[in-house]
Amino acid sequence: MTGTDHTQSPVPFIQPVRCGIVPPYILARLAEAEDPRFSVASEAAKRSLGLDAPLRGLRATERRTTALPRPSARAVPGVIHRTISDALHLQTLPGRVVRTEGQPPVADVAVNEAYAGLGDTHDLFWRRYQRDSIDGRGLPLDATVHYGREYDNAFWDGERMVFGDGDGEVFNRFTISLSVIAHELTHGVTQFSANLAYQGQSGALNESVSDVFGALVEQFAAGQGAASASWLIGAGLFTEQVQGQALRSMKAPGTAYDDDVLGADPQPASMSGYVETEEDYGGVHLNSGIPNRAFYLVAEALGGNAWEAPGQIWYDTLTGSGLTSTIDFAGFARATATAASARYGHGSVEHDAVLAGWDGVGVTLGPLRAAS
């Protein structure tokens, strides 16, 4: 047993802030850039920060007054329903519908990448965890491409995926990375399950869970085992002018990029580097590196495919009854140990790998270790 699955009955959920893939500290550095090589990117970053700012002011505990749209009738379980729209470089959603479920590819590569990425994400959650879309009830998956002008981000707004085109100097189009698409859709999964508040450690866990399943969708689609995977989030987003591989590295937080304009990746890899800050909802994009590496250490220890035992444990934790919306790292660690024990047995290889993974980043379970 892994506890009660929240996804099978309607539950109140928190108004999500705009969960963008690019941390505001990267955009802020880019907005201040004086290098003429990045003049377009600098202006694009300023506009992108301006677009994100109003939603950044929403309180993470503000409640929605309406429910998300649901199918008019219960769909056949596991059958995906995708709709891709084109914002035509405006900031009005959803935009013009350009591809729906079952239609062939179109001439627009961003439309096709979004369509495929939604499918790959749905595929992992359904085939591996028997989750019927992001809400567990067959919710149609909607996405909008070409949002804004040179918009440097992609986000989940509580109802749909939205992708910018990037500025072309620092950022490529945001549909280029499957881990980005899956990351953002996983914010929807979290919204409909644990509903982790987007602030402080619970917010960093919210970001980390999206990184975990973003990486797992990419690995599952490519058939990659834990040992051969890159564990990068957002590989391909940076242009060749940037000294960096991706936005984040789960394997080695703090090493994803080191660039004259963007600076060095500031993510800590363990609690010894934990960042206390009021920026970015209390450092949700910074401190997510700590639980990210904990998951990687679990996957490394178990070997094989990370979407199997490690992913199952994290999924059981996310959708079980052991999380509160404001849970901290230690509480989440205990919940993963409990989930591992429930599914694989106390003292199993999987259970011990979970304990060791959290120990490896400085999150220890103390006296609860033996009782998890």
What tens digit of pLDDT does each residue of 14-32 get?
444 567 899 999 999 999 9
Is 351 among the catalytic positions? no
| Residue 60 confidence (pLDDT) above 60 | no
| Residue 118 confidence (pLDDT) above 90 | yes
Q: What is the DSSP string of 259-276?
A: ETTTEE----SSGGGPPP
- Which tens digit of pLDDT belongs to each residue from 282-323? 999 999 999 999 999 999 999 999 999 999 999 999 999 989
DSSP H helices, 57-154, are 109-129
DSSP, collapsed to helix, strand or coil, labels residue 340 as helix
Give yes or no for a contact between 258 and 202, defined as CB atoms under 8 angstroms apart: no
- Residue 46, CB-side half-sphere exposure with 13 Å CA sphere: 9
CA distance 48 to 24: 9
Of 246, 244, 286, the C-alpha closest to 269 is 286
Name residues whose C-beta falls within 8 Å of residue 338's C-beta, 6 or more positions apart in sequence: 317, 322, 372
User: Out of 113, 150, 169, 184, which one is annotated catalytic?
Assistant: 184
Is 146 among the catalytic positions? no
Name residues whose C-beta falls within 8 Å of residue 45's C-beta, 6 or more positions apart in sequence: 27, 28, 30, 31, 33, 152, 167, 170
Q: What is the pLDDT of residue 19?
A: 77
CA distance 15 to 177: 26
- Which tens digit of pLDDT belongs to each residue from 205-251? 999 999 999 999 999 999 999 999 999 999 999 999 999 999 999 99
**Domains recognised in the chain with CATH numbers:** 6-368 (1.10.390.10)
Q: What is the pLDDT of residue 35?
A: 86
Section 87-108 average pLDDT? 97
| Residue 136 confidence (pLDDT) above 50 | yes
| Residue 124 confidence (pLDDT) above 50 | yes
List of E strands, 6-160? 19-20, 82-86, 96-100, 141-145, 154-156
User: Which percentage of the chain shows pLDDT scores above 70?
Assistant: 87
User: Out of 285, 300, 350, 351, which one is annotated catalytic?
Assistant: 285
CA distance 318 to 316: 6
Q: What would you report as the CA-atom Rg of the chain, rounded to the nearest whole angstrom?
A: 19
| Residue 3 confidence (pLDDT) above 50 | no
| Residue 75 confidence (pLDDT) above 70 | no
User: Which percentage of the chain shows pLDDT scores above 90?
Assistant: 81
- Which tens digit of pLDDT belongs to each residue from 318-369? 999 989 999 999 999 999 999 999 999 999 999 999 999 999 999 987 654 4
For the chain, give the mean pLDDT: 89
* pTM more than 0.75: yes
Amino acid at site 68: L
CA distance 79 to 143: 17
